[in-house]
């Protein structure tokens, strides 16, 4: 049974049982506790937490998930993978333990011919929480099993919580016995033998004081009992397909087969090769799915996870002997298999592949750079008589230059060196501990939504947003929340609080558009300034207000008045963003998709995917195209339609945005069409003019454009005109001749600077002979020590070498120059051949000086260089060298 059929059967089974089929959410989640969606229940979390009322009582989904804590174990076991699909059925206060167990058992054991999975009952073992006799009794009734076939396990295995205060409850697993070749009989801790294929969570408890997975307090029972289940698609697939592990199933093994063809290695012949091939299959699929959901490679957060996955895949191919570009060979194979369940991968392939292949090219360059850094570190180790590359050097190669430790080990062995792996692992561990500490600090970052939920429940309906059609609206105050998060009945002048109206013209921040501002006037004479507007839970619009006069009372009639000029200015910016987005896609191709934006009064910021810097000619074309269509005064109109119809009409949907079944499509003429809930100008002509200020990189594969709109753009251009006029007058040329005139001035300036530098260097070196002639004798060494004001590190090195060359060659000689430039000291030591023959080392001399200067230094025996932070101790540094020479 292929993976697509397992998906289909799972959904069909629960749809037949009255469940709403819900599409998978994006892998990206707006949750302070999660980097990615890691379980099927995540998109339903607001329902389980009581933050929102579910629109259905039963649901079924196939959820994309990604987990990375065990990334180092990928490929080494049958269980550890990064991307996976979780088949889940959910009950929100509807059926509970009996229903969940019956539905799961029926699907698992029902014959294949009847739409089930047809797993042998003799191989199945249900497990329950040891303190949940109710679940054990239900399993005995449903299955007819004897009591000893129902396995009791402890909190670690069979009690579920989110790791923070909130809902929790016992759970029950369905275990599949793979046979004695995978472990001992009855050893239910042996996961390879007794494989968990399904987990049923009975969410019934309210947890408090959660100290760990097994240490928490149960404050009481939840108001409603819920069901959250998860069946691992990949696990069921490898059982159904008769494979040994998840890497060999139909959607993953073709990547391994392609890697075999490219590398000449054979899966199953060598354990080390097998691990690398599995890593490739897993990471290629995971990376593709992440890029598909809008992640781009970067140095932190989600971007770093993607970068790490891509580079581990490329590195594994290299370790298997394949050094050409590998992702263009592997990614299409994974696309062809995964597009069966996620057709958007094929539709968005140009962008996905561009991002992935550009990252591989960047990594190949990193490998070249890292190799040079490694060679220098290896040479220094050998010159120092060391046979081991230090752990901090290996860690720096990994952390600073992105150089994999596997390659460091491989290349060190080729040079006859070992690597201090223990030191490297210790530093890696410290880094992970810091990351975990940060994560723990963030884990308590859940903002309580109890007050919002209370007001929403009392309201009984969504707050009506009337701002598309009006900027002034009559309304009623339906809720007040004080600064400490409590629902209150009234507030007086000077207080800042949150306020809910039953209908409002104020736009809540979202989709890149800043919130409206304005005032709310009450019938009792109170006047409130609207500072911000947000939507903390679905269906609720909350105004942050400051009471200017009078008293605001819940239930009072209100008149909500939006700041019209601010709204119009933001609306123009938002419309301009749509137009610039479309123009960039025309100029650069369909891969130039929006990756973020901010629409503010008179200006906007637009982020988009691009492999490299945007040529000036393309920027000029985009600006000209947008302004031509502004001049054309195209109508801007909104339509409501189903999401499917919107996509068919050519409307763009943006990554990371949530859309309902019915969506709002904004069209600028028949040219630019996007799904968007923001406010817009009525016609393109109202924008006046758009001026692109420039573009820059904000991360790998993502560029940012800053722009001005309307009056702000006009004022900017007016200032530019004045500036050009002033320059033309000062340089006595026409405006069109300014670039040529400025280039000429710059060339002359550079020539003059070179001449000045040449003269300065000659002056510096003119004193070299005098310094050499005044060399003092220190313990039999001709020593020159000099502080030179205005000399940088390069100057000090040039002077030190020149002086050393003027010392008598038959006598040990040493030169130490301390240069001071802009208050920062640098030190260079140089020793002649006679000095080195007596054991004199420039390395030791420069360290002695640099230590006094508050810094470090190093190099070779003949020349060494360092620096520091305390230039006031330059003369003391020279004296420290004298002592070093005297006591050597």
Same domain, yes or no: 151 and 192: yes
743 lies in some domain: no
On whether the pTM is more than 0.85, the answer is no
Q: Output the CA angle 58-62-66, nearest 5 degrees.
A: 125
Domain boundary, last residue among 220, 241, 262: 241
What per-residue confidence (pLDDT) applies to 468? 95
CATH of the domain at 680: 3.30.980.10
Question: Are 799 and 870 within one domain?
Answer: yes
557-604 residue pLDDT tens: 999 999 999 999 999 999 999 999 999 999 998 888 888 899 999 999
| Res 131: pLDDT | 93
* Residue 676 known to bind ligand: yes
Question: For helices 301-319 and 271-292, what crossing angle results, to 10°?
Answer: 150
- Is 581 annotated for ligand binding? no
Tell me the C-alpha distance between 105 and 98, whole Å. Answer: 11
Query: Is 233 in the same domain as 148?
Result: yes
Q: Is 283 marked within a binding site? A: no
Residues of the chain with pLDDT under 70: 32, 70, 78-79, 299, 400-402, 410, 432, 435-448, 653-660, 700, 760-761
Verify that 262 and 226 share a domain, yes or no.
no
**Six-digit token pair at 193?**
């033998």
Looking up residue 859, the CATH number of its domain turns out to be 3.10.310.40
- 514-543 residue pLDDT tens: 999 999 999 999 999 999 999 988 889 999
* Same-domain check for residues 548 and 594: no
In a domain, 367, yes or no: no
* Within a domain: 611: yes
The last residue of one of the domains, among 562, 589, 604, is 562
The reply to whether 457 and 546 lie within a common domain is yes
Across-strand partners of 707?
A: 604, 692
- Confirm or deny that 574 is annotated as ligand binding: yes
If one counts the domains in the chain, the total is 6
DSSP string, 65-129: EE--TTGGGTTTSSS--SEEEEEEEEEESS--HHHHHHHHHHHHHS-GGGTS----GGGEEEEEE
Distance (Å, whole) CA 480 – CA 555: 10
* 711 shares a domain with 810: no
User: Within this chain, do residues 164 and 226 fall inside the same structural domain, yes or no?
Assistant: yes
| 362-407 pLDDT per residue, tens | 888 877 777 777 888 888 888 888 888 888 888 888 776 667 777 7
CA neighbor of 128 nearest in space, from 189, 188, 171:
171
Domain containing 459 equals 449-562
Residue identified by tokens 């999975």 is 117
Q: Please, what is the Cα angle at 406 between 611 and 318, to 5 degrees?
A: 55
Looking at residue 446, its pLDDT comes to 42
Residue 785 placed within a domain? yes
Q: Which two tokens stand for residue 752?
A: 């003059």
Burial of 701 (C-beta count, 10 Å sphere; 0-12/13-18/19+): buried
Within a domain: residue 373?
no
Asked if residue 632 belongs to a domain, the reply is: yes
Q: Are residues 201 and 263 in the same domain?
A: no
The enclosing domain of 36 has a CATH number of: 3.30.930.10
**Within-domain flag for 112:** yes
Residues 194 and 265 in one domain: no
> At which of 295, 324, 358 does a domain end?
358
Round to whole Å and give the CA distance between 590 and 571.
Answer: 25
Is 432 among the domain residues?
A: yes
Round to whole Å and give the CA distance between 172 and 135: 8
Domain co-membership, 35 together with 176: yes
Residues 338 and 319 in one domain: yes
């Amino acid at each position: 049974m292929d993976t697509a059929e397992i998906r289909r059967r799972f959904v069909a089974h629960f749809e037949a049982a009255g469940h709403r089929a819900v599409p998978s959410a994006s892998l990206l989640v707006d949750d302070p506790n999660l980097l990615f969606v890691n379980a099927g229940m995540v998109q339903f979390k607001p329902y389980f937490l009581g933050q929102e009322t579910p629109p259905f009582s039963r649901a079924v989904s196939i959820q994309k998930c990604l987990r990375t804590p065990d990334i180092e174990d990928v490929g080494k076991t049958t269980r550890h993978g990064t991307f996976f699909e979780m088949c889940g059925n959910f009950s929100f206060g509807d059926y509970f333990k009996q229903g969940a167990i019956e539905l799961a058992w029926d699907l698992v054991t029902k014959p294949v011919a009847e739409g089930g999975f047809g797993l042998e009952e003799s191989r199945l073992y249900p497990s329950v929480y040891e303190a949940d006799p109710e679940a054990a009794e239900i399993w005995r009734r449903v299955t007819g099993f004897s009591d000893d076939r129902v396995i009791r396990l402890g909190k670690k295995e069979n009690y579920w919580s989110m790791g923070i205060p909130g809902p929790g409850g016992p759970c029950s697993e369905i275990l599949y016995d793979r046979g004695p070749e995978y472990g001992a009989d009855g050893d239910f801790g042996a996961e390879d033998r007794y494989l968990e294929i399904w987990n049923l969570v009975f969410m019934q408890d309210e947890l408090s004081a959660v100290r760990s997975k097994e240490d928490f307090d149960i404050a009481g029972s939840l108001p409603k009992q819920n069901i959250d289940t998860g069946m691992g698609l990949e696990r069921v697939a490898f059982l159904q397909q008769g494979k040994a592990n998840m890497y060999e199933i139909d959607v993953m093994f073709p990547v391994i087969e392609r890697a075999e063809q490219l590398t000449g290695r054979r899966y199953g012949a060598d354990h080390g090769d097998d691990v690398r091939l599995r890593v490739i299959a897993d990471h290629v699929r995971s990376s593709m799915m992440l890029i598909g959901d809008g992640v781009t490679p970067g140095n932190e957060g989600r971007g770093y996870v993607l970068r790490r996955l891509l580079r581990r895949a490329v590195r594994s191919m290299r370790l298997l002997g394949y050094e050409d570009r590998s992702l263009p060979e592997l990614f299409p194979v994974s696309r062809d298999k995964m597009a069966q369940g996620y057709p958007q991968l094929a539709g968005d392939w140009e962008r996905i592949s561009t991002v992935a292949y550009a990252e591989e090219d960047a990594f190949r360059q990193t490998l070249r750079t890292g190799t040079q850094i490694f060679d220098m570190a290896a040479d220094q180790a050998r010159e120092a008589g060391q046979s081991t590359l230090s752990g901090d050097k290996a860690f720096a190669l990994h952390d600073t230059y992105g150089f994999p430790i596997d390659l460091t080990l491989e290349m060190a062995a080729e040079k006859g060196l070992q690597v201090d792996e223990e030191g490297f692992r210790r530093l890696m561990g410290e880094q992970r501990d810091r990351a975990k500490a940060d994560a723990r600090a963030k884990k308590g970052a859940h903002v309580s939504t109890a007050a919002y939920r209370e007001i929403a429940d009392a309201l009984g309906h969504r707050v009506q947003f009337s701002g598309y059609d009006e900027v002034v609206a009559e309304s009623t105050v339906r809720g007040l929340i004080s600064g400490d998060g409590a629902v209150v009945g009234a507030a007086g002048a000077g207080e800042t609080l949150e306020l809910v109206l039953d209908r409002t013209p104020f736009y809540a921040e979202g989709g890149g558009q800043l919130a409206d501002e304005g005032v709310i006037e009450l019938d009792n004479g109170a006047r409130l300034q609207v500072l911000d507007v947000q939507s903390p839970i679905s269906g609720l619009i909350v105004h942050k207000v400051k009471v200017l006069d009078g008293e605001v009372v819940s239930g009072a009639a209100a008149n909500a008045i939006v700041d019209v000029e601010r709204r119009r200015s933001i609306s123009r910016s938002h419309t301009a963003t749509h137009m610039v987005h479309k123009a960039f896609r025309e100029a650069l191709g369909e891969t130039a998709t929006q990756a973020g934006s901010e629409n503010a009064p008179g200006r906007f910021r637009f982020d988009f995917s691009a492999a490299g810097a945007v040529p000036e000619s393309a920027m000029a074309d985009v600006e000209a195209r947008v302004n031509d269509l502004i001049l054309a005064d195209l109508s801007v109109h909104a339509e409501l339609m189903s999401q499917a119809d919107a996509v068919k009409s050519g409307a763009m949907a943006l990554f990371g945005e949530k859309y309902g079944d019915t969506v709002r499509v904004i069209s600028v003429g028949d040219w630019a069409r996007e799904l968007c809930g923001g406010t817009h100008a009525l016609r393109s002509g109202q924008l006046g003019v758009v001026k692109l200020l420039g573009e820059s990189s904000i991360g790998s594969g993502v560029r940012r454009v800053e722009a001005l709109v309307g009056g702000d753009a006009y004022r900017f251009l007016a200032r530019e005109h004045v500036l050009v006029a002033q320059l033309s007058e000062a340089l006595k040329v026409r405006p069109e001749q300014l670039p040529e005139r400025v280039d000429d001035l710059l060339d002359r300036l550079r020539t003059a600077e070179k001449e000045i530098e040449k003269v300065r260097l000659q002056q510096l070196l003119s004193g070299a002979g005098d310094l050499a002639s005044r060399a003092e004798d220190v313990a039999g060494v001709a020593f020159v020590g000099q502080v030179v004001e205005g000399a940088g590190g390069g100057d000090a090195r040039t002077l030190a070498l020149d002086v050393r060359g003027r010392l008598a060659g038959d006598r040990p000689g040493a030169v130490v120059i301390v240069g001071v430039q802009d208050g920062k000291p640098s030190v260079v030591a140089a020793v002649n051949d006679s000095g080195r023959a007596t054991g004199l080392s420039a390395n030791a001399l420069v360290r002695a000086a640099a230590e006094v200067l508050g810094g470090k230094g190093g190099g070779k025996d003949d020349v060494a260089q360092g620096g520091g932070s305390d230039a006031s101790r330059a003369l003391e540094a020279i004296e420290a060298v004298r002592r070093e020479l005297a006591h050597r």
